[in-house]
Structure 1
Amino acid sequence: MDVIGSDGVKIGTVDHLDGSDKIKLTKSASPDGQHHYVPLAWVDHVDAHVHLTKTSADAKVGW
């Protein structure tokens, strides 16, 4: 399942839920080949994709 910033830009693909508070993204979909994490607090809604309340650039700042 793709993870999409509020600007409509894909930031990654869900690997799995890590604990009860963050989504782990696949490293294969990451340009640097590393796992990254998205806090569940940033999730706006889920349909066919996970939509974030942050833009893709803002979400990547902490990586």
Structure 2
Amino acid sequence: MADLSQIKEHAEVIGADGVHVGTVDHVDGDRIKLTKKDSGEGSHKGHHHYIPGGLVAGVEGDKVRLSANADVAVTFEEEA
């Protein structure tokens, strides 16, 4: 797992394929809390989602790169 302390608020979270997954609200323990604006559609809209820190492959400035492609990474999201 990458060093989550390097993750900055409002950093872009992208999958291994370069596709946007979300925007960091903040790091909450060993998870990344995403902003509500990236919460999806339907019943997923309007609340925070979390990405497990174990999916973080690296932090590159204002980008958090995941070890999984975006379409796979979202299946690991947890809802608040």
TM-score normalized by the length of structure 2? 0.70
Larger relative helix fraction: 2
**Does the alignment pair 1:22 with 2:31?**
yes
Identical-pair percentage: 48
In 2, distance between residues paired with 1:50 and 1:7?
Answer: 12
Which runs of 5 or more residues in structure 1 are unaligned? Answer: none
Deviations 1:1-52 (A, max 9, x none): 1000001100100000112x10000012323232111111100110120000
The count of aligned residue pairs is: 62
In 1, distance between residues paired with 2:38 and 2:74?
Answer: 14
What RMSD in Å do the two structures reach over aligned CA positions?
A: 1.2
Which runs of 5 or more residues in structure 2 are unaligned? Answer: 1-10
Q: Which has the larger radius of gyration?
A: 2
In 2, distance between residues paired with 1:61 and 1:38?
Answer: 9
In 2, distance between residues paired with 1:24 and 1:13?
Answer: 8
Q: Give the alignment partner of residue 51 of structure 1, picking from 51, 65, 68.
A: 65
In 2, distance between residues paired with 1:57 and 1:24?
Answer: 18
Match of 1:40 in 2: 53
**Secondary structure of 1:34 counterpart:** coil
